[in-house]
Structure 1
Amino acid sequence: MAATCAWESSEETGQDALIVKFSNGHVKNAEKLDFKLFKHSDGVNPRKKTRRIVVAESDRLPYVGSNFGTGSLQCNNMGRYFVGVLDKRTMKMKVHNAQLFNMLPTIPGESTENENTKKDETYREKVDALIEAFGTTKQKRALSSRRLNEVGNESLQQAVELAATNVINQKGVDALRNEVAETEALTDTSLFLPPCNPNADKVEDVYPFDELLSPNEFDALKDVGAKMAALTPEDLQKMKDEKSPQTVLRHLESLPKEDAARDRQSRCAWYLSFLIKASLQKRLSFKFGTEDGCPRMIINKVLKNFTVESFHNGTLRNTVSSSMRMKVAAHCLALLLHMGDQKANLTLLHRDIGITDARMMELAKAMGLKLSRQSAHSKEHAGTTEEHRMASLVLPLVQYNRPMERKKRRRMN
């Protein structure tokens, strides 16, 4: 009868097994190789703390392998590998996580560049040398003047580099990149518009609903949508007292009676409320929305599409920047078009999300919507009316021309 063995996990120790493969042949005497393992000194950065370098020294050549960079094996990223070590005395096998390393030979003292090789002279340098040797006085004076200008340009360049280095040290590279990205996004509105099909035959296909909420994501909102559909007038009044988004309340107060349409509208209203709530945050955590029963699929979608990842003190942050808030506003507007028979109230939406009226108008124009005005009862002052900006989707999409700069008048003689 064959003996049986028990499996034990070794994740408690945190030690991984290393499997090395030599690229130029087989090792005859592995015992004579001196192996060393080097870990990255930054144990906080999640992108660097897992970096490892394995060095194997022999009498002839040293071999080096790493799990990062161009020489690493890509199979480590495609799957997981395990190594089992059997203790014949206890008949227990410990299973270790394994990493594969490709060992490449390294020749000491080998360099890709020859330091003794003289740098080739350019055509300009050759001409300058001829002018110095055989040029006229005027040519030599021009050469000296040009070289003085080059020295001045080099001094200016060094001053600019020093100032740029000081700014980078103060703010950090990530902060500067985020500022540049936000500036470019705010100047180009099309970067955060939802997927659009301007050649669609139907208005509901211009901004497809499945691009805003996939079928799987729509199914995941079944439970939270049912809670929205079951709200009583007392619950709606409580939401009004708590300053809930007016855009969401308007649709909840006019839910359809038919079951299928009511279910669809309530799911969209919950997702719209979640997007507005996320846009008002500065940073989103992975636990955001769990207290409201938000499905994990929806949380991951919002973190991936509507936040900017930044690295701070060893942790990754998901920040809702100004450009991401505009992206949320664009997707909310496209969702409102499907919820309101291809019509949306821009005034209520820009108040709920917290962007300016001018930004919301730019967004609607970039999406090709037709703009209009409509009188509505004021919520703050009873008995009075106020003017709301409305947007509607019509075919063909409206093309808005950007205002050109006023040309300078010609001076009359």
Structure 2
Amino acid sequence: MTAEVLPSARWLYCGEPEESQRAVLVQFSNGKLLNPGNMRFTMYKSSDSTNPRKRGHRILAAETERLSYVGNNFGIGALKCNTLCRHFVGVLNKTSGQMEVYDAELFNMQPLFSDESIESESSLENQAKTFREKMDSCIEAFGTTKQKRALNSRRMNSVGSESLNRAVAKAAEEIIHTKGVTALLSDAAHDDSQDDSLYLPPCHAEASKPEDVYKFADLLTPAEYEALEGPSEAFRNVTSEEILKMIEENSHCAFVIEALKSLSADKELRDRQARCLWFLDTLIKFRAQKVIKRKSALGSEVPHIINTKLLKHFTCLTYNNGSLRNLISDSMKAKITAHVLLLALHINNFEIDLTVLQRDLKLSEKRIIEIAKAMRLRVSKKKVEVVAGRVEEHRLGVLRLPLPAPQAAERQAKRRKIT
């Protein structure tokens, strides 16, 4: 009896097999199959042929009498070794002795437990999700550490906002229950007439003297007034030659220059006028800015306590491009204007030329009259000789008792009518 002699085997690399004969290797996550011959396999490929990343997506399904299995080469369930290793399947042709070697992919087959109720609920829940919620789910699963941190921060802010809204709603219900709708409407009407008080110092309408209507201590504290002694020395000892130089260089506003020409001869009163004029001039220069980018906005000659007052009381703190900035908003400009007018009233015996201050502050005549009336000044007209032979009509503001009825600014009244 002679033995059959087979020819020696040779390797023959064939690359990827035909699409209809896809070579795959499978492993089962829950053990080994006893009867692998009873398995029925089905391969599904992505229908998106334009996207190069999705073109190679495959899903392998397998069925037995007891369970169904599924595996894929993409997503969370895909094996990492497919990208790190190469797998091959060899088919030995006994006649030719050639081992035909094909590229293959390894699939991890996991049992699929079908529950119609769970699937239907999951489908409905997924349909109900917004685009933002779906994006958040993707970030939770695949996002970078920075993206996940931003997502957590946004969710915390959202929770805080919801809690705040609930607290505000509850507080509003309690107030309405306690005071009643009629009383609240009455309070709202009263608040409308007091809108201008947001940028005005306290007004003591019951005062018996003009200087007590807007108290000087509400404009400058004793410590702030004391700090103005050094910077105001140049104003206190100003000479006629220095005033002419100021006019030529346009280094100070017109109101300050005119007031320096007529400073009091009384030493104590002159010192008070000089300090107030220096602070008034500083306020006007400060108001001309929009954004304060450094703490010492007007230079090192401004005392620290005065600089702190300017930033704290006449700016709004804003956040921009990762940094905090002090912004001089329109409401803050109105507040500065009101303080300038009140300082001028205390300097000029409670009668001021609104036209001169309007030009220094670069305001319209209508706007400065609105603020003056909100401060309960009496506004009148007067012919003023500015140069030889030239006369202008100026607006004057006078603080006189009894005070006229308060008037809200016209622009605010129009806004209330619209809303």
Instruction: Report the TM-score, using the length of structure 2 for normalisation.
Output: 0.49
Cα distance in 2, alignment partners of residues 290 and 253 from structure 1: 26
Cα distance in 2, alignment partners of residues 205 and 195 from structure 1: 10
Deviations 1:303-335 (A, max 9, x none): 111111111122211111111111101011111
Cα distance in 2, alignment partners of residues 317 and 229 from structure 1: 35
User: Which of 226, 234, 247 matches 1:240?
Assistant: 247
Map 1:229-268 onto structure 2 (within 5 A): 229-243=236-250, 244-268=252-276
Given the alignment of the two structures, is residue 327 of structure 1 paired with residue 335 of structure 2, yes or no? Answer: yes
CA contact (8 A) 2:374 2:407 kept: no
- Which consecutive residues of structure 1, in runs of 5 or more, have no partner in the other structure? 1-183, 406-413
What is the match of residue 288 of structure 1? Answer: 297
Cα distance in 2, alignment partners of residues 257 and 400 from structure 1: 36
Given the alignment of the two structures, is residue 304 of structure 1 paired with residue 312 of structure 2, yes or no? Answer: yes
Deviations 1:96-132 (A, max 9, x none): xxxxxxxxxxxxxxxxxxxxxxxxxxxxxxxxxxxxx
Deviations 1:168-201 (A, max 9, x none): xxxxxxxxxxxxxxxx99x943321122111111
Cα distance in 2, alignment partners of residues 245 and 313 from structure 1: 35
Map 1:131-150 onto structure 2 (within 5 A): none
CA drift at 1:401? 5.7
Deviations 1:218-275 (A, max 9, x none): 0000111212112222221122123321111111111111111111100000000000
Cα distance in 1, alignment partners of residues 407 and 228 from structure 2: 40
What is the match of residue 393 of structure 1? Answer: 399
CA contact (8 A) 1:373 1:387 kept: yes
Map 1:73-84 onto structure 2 (within 5 A): none
Matched residues, number = 218
CA contact (8 A) 2:355 2:396 kept: yes
Check 1:196–1:234 CA distance in 2 against 1; reply closer, same or farther (3 A cut).
same
CA contact (8 A) 1:194 1:334 kept: no
Cα distance in 1, alignment partners of residues 228 and 304 from structure 2: 10
Aligned-CA RMSD value: 2.2
User: Which of 360, 367, 375 matches 2:375?
Assistant: 367
Given the alignment of the two structures, is residue 354 of structure 1 paired with residue 379 of structure 2, yes or no? Answer: no
What is the match of residue 196 of structure 2? Answer: 189
User: Secondary structure in 1 aligned to 2:232?
Assistant: helix
- The residue type paired with residue 235 of structure 1 is E
CA contact (8 A) 2:376 2:407 kept: no
Identity of aligned residues (%): 40
CA drift at 1:400? 5.3
CA contact (8 A) 2:236 2:270 kept: yes
CA contact (8 A) 1:346 1:388 kept: yes
Instruction: Report the TM-score, using the length of structure 1 for normalisation.
Output: 0.50
Which structure has the bigger radius of gyration?
Answer: 2
CA drift at 1:395? 1.2
What is the match of residue 218 of structure 1? Answer: 225
- The residue type paired with residue 349 of structure 2 is D
Cα distance in 1, alignment partners of residues 346 and 261 from structure 2: 17
Cα distance in 2, alignment partners of residues 303 and 191 from structure 1: 17
- Which consecutive residues of structure 2, in runs of 5 or more, have no partner in the other structure? 1-190, 415-419
Cα distance in 2, alignment partners of residues 277 and 294 from structure 1: 12
User: Secondary structure in 2 aligned to 1:377?
Assistant: strand
Cα distance in 2, alignment partners of residues 209 and 358 from structure 1: 27
- The residue type paired with residue 346 of structure 2 is H
CA drift at 1:377? 2.2
Cα distance in 2, alignment partners of residues 364 and 230 from structure 1: 32
CA drift at 1:289? 2.4
Cα distance in 2, alignment partners of residues 378 and 319 from structure 1: 36
